[in-house]
Amino acid sequence: MELNSQIKTALADPDKKILLMTHIVLGYPSLETNRRVIDQMVNNGVDLIEMQIPFSEPMADGPVIVKANQEAIERGITVHQCLDFARSITEAYSIPFLFMTYYNILFKFGVEEFLKEAKAAGIKGFIIADLPPEEGEDFFELSREYDIAPILIFAPTSTPERMRELTRHSRGFIYCTARKGVTGKQTDFDAGFNDYMRTCRENTDLPLAVGFGISCREDVTFLTGKADIAVIGTKTIKIAEEKGIDAVGPFIAGLR
């Protein structure tokens, strides 16, 4: 089943007013830890998971995720290991898994070869944080060929015209950053945010995911009815670091 259909099926569940997507950095602190964290997440109600392939210059990420990328690279994580891990995870769990990374990873690996391998590994979508549609013609064409959804990003600075252009290249859902800047910093929602979400809704027919600074049940409750998916990234990494892996599940279970 392709990503958009899986999201629509999940949203049809009357017990789920909003979906949850979480973020992990592959290889941080180890793939075995990643596996245990994913198990905690899935068994406590997460609907989608984005798995970040570490990159040396993750420009969209805040200090916690930057550190995780750096340490994973220092410990020797490879793209091939990430692909092999993805294959084992998608065989074990039925929810959609996505790759999040930066374009140089695909460029160095070979874009078509990477998409081919990702398809074989069961990946449903890609978030390539630094790839605008004007510079990714091959990627977008190949993503259609291999039926892997490209997820593009709306920001509070995006104009309606830009949103419509991004939608034209997107499938699955749109990732809406809750604010300007990088991941990790707490987001303060205000009337301007409501206007932003209304503009997003008016300029795409795809489901909307909201991330950057989403960290508690109150945030998820606020987004319910405004977005379709709440994205929790930095917070789960901090919880695993500070309280241990077994604390991730109860945190996820308490988000909605």
Q: Which two tokens stand for residue 140?
A: 């977008």
Closest C-alpha to 154, from 189, 129, 172:
129
Q: Which two tokens stand for residue 80?
A: 């091939």
Residue spans of alpha helices (H) in the chain:
3-11, 31-43, 63-74, 79-92, 103-109, 111-120, 137-145, 160-169, 191-202, 217-223, 234-243, 248-253
Residue spans of alpha helices (H) in 12-110:
31-43, 63-74, 79-92, 103-109
Q: In whole angstroms, what is the distance from residue 53 CA to residue 26 CA?
A: 6
CA 152 from chain centre, in angstroms, equals 11
- CB contact at 8 A, 238 and 64: yes
Residue of 13, 32, 39, 61 marked active site: 61
Residue of 15, 47, 50, 242 marked active site: 50
Q: Indicate if 74 belongs to the active site.
A: no
Q: Indicate if 50 belongs to the active site.
A: yes
Please identify every residue annotated as catalytic: 50, 61
